[in-house]
Copies of this chain bind each other. A is one copy, B any other.
């Protein structure tokens, strides 16, 4: 259907009991053109959504069902919010012809060798990869519009690619020696209990993790190489922060702030959610929390030939569920901002 039709798009979610699932439910429930009719969560099948997410108790929502109980006749669009490797297992079982938006990592990497290298397991649905579109909305809008399987990006990847891709493709920076410093909120690690994310381990401190091993490196290298013919060399340094939401990326650049700022400002002049701040203004994750906005700041270094670019977004929204819905809006020819214009919650 399109926005001119009367009937809403019928939407189902597979993987509804994680944080990303909860955000999909929340955002879809207030969307003017989407109607949520099924939410799959195998472990919680039969339970009410409000029993797992009490913050959604005021909404009229269907109960969780198992994947086996899902009725595909009644679905135009499926959001799949499962962990990687689990996602491919499920997606191969979905009848052909359904629009699918996958929030896992399973269809992000175009080359199967890269998937198997970084994820350490065989890909069982590689035949679907060919039709997959990397879901970085503002860059791949046309492909998303015509796509049937969208592979939403990693949250850190989105925050990194937004400032870097335009600079690479316009030749403002070379990509052979990029340091990508990441600060990541703990909700990115999901809702399953693991010792390293309990409050007493995370709060009141900062800890780097997965240096040299973070799987988002693979996405970044793939996309950087599409943006430039030059050699790519990146060092990716992720840090786990004592906060729930938010990704911050800070990248030192061997170009003056003025050129960097002008390039980004121009590139995103029509992008409703990517806001390039006035030059020398510094963004903060606090200012995008709970929203689909990405703020990008460009600041001069004390050596004025150099600068630092910083981008921030809410990992669960612009980095995940909001990105997915923005992509869905584009696929179904709605305004891309539909259901996504809520302001950040501060403080």
The interface of chain A, by Cβ under 8 A from chain B, is 19, 22, 26, 29-30, 53-59, 177, 179, 181, 183, 186-187, 191-195, 197-209, 211-213, 217, 233, 235-237, 239, 241-246, 248, 250, 252, 275, 277, 281-291, 293, 295, 297, 299-303, 306, 308, 310, 341-347
Contacts and interface: CB of A to CB of B under 8 A. Distances in A.
A242 to B, nearest CB: 5
A339 to B, nearest CB: 12
Contact of A308 (B22, B195, B203, B211): B211
B193 A198 contact: yes
B205 A55 contact: no
A19 to B, nearest CB: 6
Most buried by B among A217, A233, A239, A281: A239
B30 A343 contact: yes
Which residue, of A19, A199, A252, has the highest number of chain B Cβ atoms within 10 A?
A199
Given A55-B291, A193-B197, A205-B289, 10 more contacts: A55-B345, A57-B287, A58-B275, A59-B343, A199-B202, A204-B243, A208-B299, A208-B310, A235-B252, A244-B347
Contact of A243 (B194, B195, B203): B203
Given A183-B206, A204-B244, A205-B246, A346 B55 contact: yes
B199 A285 contact: no
A185 to B, nearest CB: 8
